[in-house]
Amino acid sequence: MIWNEEFETLPREQLENLQLKRLKDLVERSYYRVKPYREKMDEAGLKPEHIKSLADLQNLPFTTKDFLRDNYPFGLFTLPLDQVVRVHASSGTTGKPTVVGYTKRDIETWAEVMARALACGGVHRGDVVHNAYGYGLFTGGLGAHYGAEKLGATVVPISGGQTKRQIMIMQDFGSTVLLATPSYALNIADTMVDMGVDGSSLSLRVGIFGAEPWSENMREEVEKKLGLKAIDIYGLSEIIGPGVSMECIEAQHGLHIFEDHFMPEIIDPDTGEVLPMGEEGELVFTTLTKQAFPLIRYRTKDITRLIAEPCVCGRTFVRMEKITGRTDDMLIIRGVNVFPTQVEHVLMGVEGVEPHYQIIVNREGSMDTMEVQVEVSEQLFSDEVKNLENLSKRIQAEIKDLIGSTCKITLVEPKTIQRSEGKAKRVIDNRNV
Amino acid sequence: MKVDQIAVFLENKSGRLAAITKALSDNNINIRALSVADTADFGILRLIVDDTDKATRVLKEEGFTVAKGVVIAVEVADKPGGLARVLSVLHEAEINVEYMYAFVEKSSENAVLIFRFDDPDIAITILQNAGIKILTGEEVRAI
Ligand SMILES: [Zn+2]
């Protein structure tokens, strides 16, 4: 079902006219109300009136995560706080989080795109939606919640954790839709096996999985184990949260971007040049309608390509392929963003640890596991087992402080971690995502 | 009264121990005593050799992590009760043994016990006062 037939099937020309009108308004609001934006545009010699066509978008400066951080917490809000009805924050693990704000209308916009996303995934009124996304500062829980309510579905706001209880509730309530991260969905499936609960005792029909990258293999696995259709949803808190783009259940190929609200570009991450349609590069978004915290040309660091071909579902919105990677080396482990540099920071804090390490990520069953290999230098080495074990435990505890989950520390002989001439290969991700 | 020992870090993969013994024999270094402490994740090889400095150099050149340390060598008769007596002396004096290993002398009826203590000097005094024979480094290397 198409939730908003009028907008979701707009002929491209009309859509582009609408986008241009909204873009002009966005640039004007940002320029006159937000000093950091004004400074950036002045530096580039641009005024709002220079935006005459959609092609002029590519003259505007990019917005990066660092820029958001520099203006923490509310520096980029275009409206005073008395018009901001909600804030969320990113899942950053060190330092300051990225804070995003919403006006009343922004919350409505978010519910609208999220309702569209759910409908796109085959959810409808009458469905019992088991929402296992985390509720709180993270945008997943509340974002999905408002959309499901707007759609008219019955929402079970269960949030994460207490997996056995979640399974009981899904059985008892006859839940038909599961919203979760894909790894949590697999965790649920594995827990069901442990509990001796048969998949057929659940009524699940659709799973809407997002907030972390996942592969086609994982789709097959989770579809088989839970007996549902697994659909990919994409979003990031900076842009609005979940509901930026969504796979349609008809094609299950490519995620329709709700382009009347979020304008995508694909750029060469090194040069910043906009790439021709269909080429792979970094995904960049401009929020056309957001009020409190709009973003112009925000670099997501996600790598994908756009698909312009019309889709069987009838939506005219362009599709983006499933995210294939990141321009930085950020890892998402059990839903938490981890940068190798954070691990490095911990290691460098331990006296005698060499700056040679490697992070190995595996998926064992439904769980992501992280192993950190550390070379044992002469300074660290001891003839006593307990000293080396204490060293491992200490590194493990400090990393746990940082990322919230336990990783395995493996001590290896010096010079066994591969040295590279250019950029060190810090991460081996065996999850095939 | 103290004996030099070298400890070598062993990654948990096959062939490492063989690589060490080969490097030593290629350089005509004789191993007098050897023990491996193994955990699930790594191992530590402890060695007493006839030329500690040379062995250290050779192993470092081969890329191993090496630590030099001192241990105490105690000689006991190779018959029941030999070890028990030494341990009971240490226990009564509340001397903590970090680890120990043993080997039997080829040319005599004696066994040699190698002890690693936190504070070897106190341990030496206690053992000597109890009339237990401590070997010098030279004596151990000559075995
Ligand atoms: Zn479609």
Does A212 score more than 90 pLDDT? no
Does A78 score more than 60 pLDDT? yes
Task: Could you please state the CATH topology (level 3) that the domain comprising B2-69 is classified under.
Answer: VC0802-like (3.30.2130)
Residue A221 and residue A138 share a domain? yes
Q: How does pLDDT run across A353-382, given as a tens digit for each residue?
A: 776 788 999 888 778 889 999 988 888 899
Does A18 score more than 70 pLDDT? yes
Tell me the C-alpha distance between B10 and B42, whole Å. Answer: 6
- Cβ neighbours of B66 in A, within 8 Å: 378, 381
Which of B11, B16, B99 minimises the CB distance to A384? B99
Tell me the C-alpha distance between A74 and A86, whole Å. Answer: 12
Identify the pLDDT of residue B21: 93
- Residue A246 Cα to ligand 1 midpoint, Å, equals 9
- CATH 3.30.70.260 in chain B is located at 71-142
Does A94 score more than 70 pLDDT? no
Side chain identity at residue B127, one-letter code: L
Tell me the C-alpha distance between A202 and A204, whole Å. Answer: 6
Q: Which parts of A75-228 are beta strand (E)?
A: 86-89, 99-102, 128-131, 154-156, 177-180, 206-210
The share of chain A scoring above pLDDT 90, in percent, equals 67
Q: How does pLDDT run across A379-416, given as a tens digit for each residue?
A: 889 999 999 999 999 999 988 887 777 899 999 988 78
Closest among A133, A74, A79 to A100, alpha carbons compared = A74
CATH of span B71-142: 3.30.70.260
Q: Is B61 on the interface with A (CB under 8 A)?
A: no
Q: Which domain holds residue A350?
A: 331-429
Residue A121 and residue A169 share a domain? yes
Mean pLDDT of chain A: 91
Of the residues A327, A345, A370, the one at which a domain ends: A327
Per-residue pLDDT, averaged over A288-294, amounts to 97
Kindly indicate the confidence band of residue A96, based on its pLDDT and cuts at 50, 70 and 90.
confident
Q: pLDDT higher for A422 or B113?
A: B113
Tell me the C-alpha distance between A22 and A215, whole Å. Answer: 35
Q: Measured between CA atoms, how close is A374 to chain B, in angstroms? A: 11
Residue A366 and residue A252 share a domain? no
Identify the pLDDT of residue A419: 64
Which of A381, A385, A392 minimises the CB distance to B65? A381
- Residue A244 Cα to ligand 1 midpoint, Å, equals 14
- CATH 3.30.2130.10 in chain B is located at 2-69
Q: pLDDT higher for A431 or A70?
A: A70
Interchain pair A411, B11: CB under 8 A = yes
Domain total in chain A: 2
- Cβ neighbours of A382 in B, within 8 Å: 7, 67
Per-residue pLDDT, averaged over A25-51, amounts to 95
Identify the pLDDT of residue A334: 76
Q: pLDDT higher for A115 or B13?
A: A115
Q: Which residues, in sequence order, are CB contacts of A210 under 8 Å at separation 6+?
A: A140, A181, A182, A232, A233, A234, A235, A242
Residue A286 and residue A352 share a domain? no
Residue A143 and residue A56 share a domain? yes
Q: How does pLDDT run across A185-195, given as a tens digit for each residue?
A: 888 988 898 89
Identify the pLDDT of residue A422: 46
**Is residue A287 within 8 Å of A240, Cβ to Cβ?**
yes
- Encoding tokens for residue B128? 């000597």
Provide the H-helix boundaries in A77-122: 104-120
User: What CATH number does the domain containing A301 carry?
Assistant: 3.40.50.12780
- Residue A298 Cα to ligand 1 midpoint, Å, equals 25
- Best residue in A383, A407, A415 to probe B by mutation, most B CBs within 10 Å? A383
Per-residue pLDDT, averaged over A248-260, amounts to 96
Per-residue pLDDT, averaged over B59-88, amounts to 90
**Is residue B41 within 8 Å of B108, Cβ to Cβ?**
no
- Cβ neighbours of A411 in B, within 8 Å: 9, 11, 41-42
Per-residue pLDDT, averaged over B55-74, amounts to 93
Q: Is B70 on the interface with A (CB under 8 A)?
A: no
- Cβ neighbours of B116 in A, within 8 Å: 383-384
Rg over alpha carbons for chain A, rounded to the nearest Å, is 23
Identify the pLDDT of residue B78: 79
Tell me the C-alpha distance between A410 and A413, whole Å. Answer: 10
Of the residues A327, A345, A360, the one at which a domain ends: A327
Kindly indicate the confidence band of residue A420, based on its pLDDT and cuts at 50, 70 and 90.
low
Tell me the C-alpha distance between A110 and A188, whole Å. Answer: 28
Q: Measured between CA atoms, how close is A404 to chain B, in angstroms? A: 23
Residue A307 and residue A378 share a domain? no
Least trusted range by pLDDT, from A101-105, A162-166, B138-142 = B138-142
H or E segment and range at residue A331: strand A331-333
Of the residues A292, A327, A362, the one at which a domain ends: A327
Identify the pLDDT of residue A47: 96
Least trusted range by pLDDT, from A194-203, A211-220, A306-315, B68-77 = A211-220
Does B113 score more than 70 pLDDT? yes
Residue A230 and residue A244 share a domain? yes
- Encoding tokens for residue B103? 């080997």
Distances (CA, A) of A414 to A258, A328, A359, A417, B11: 51, 27, 16, 8, 10
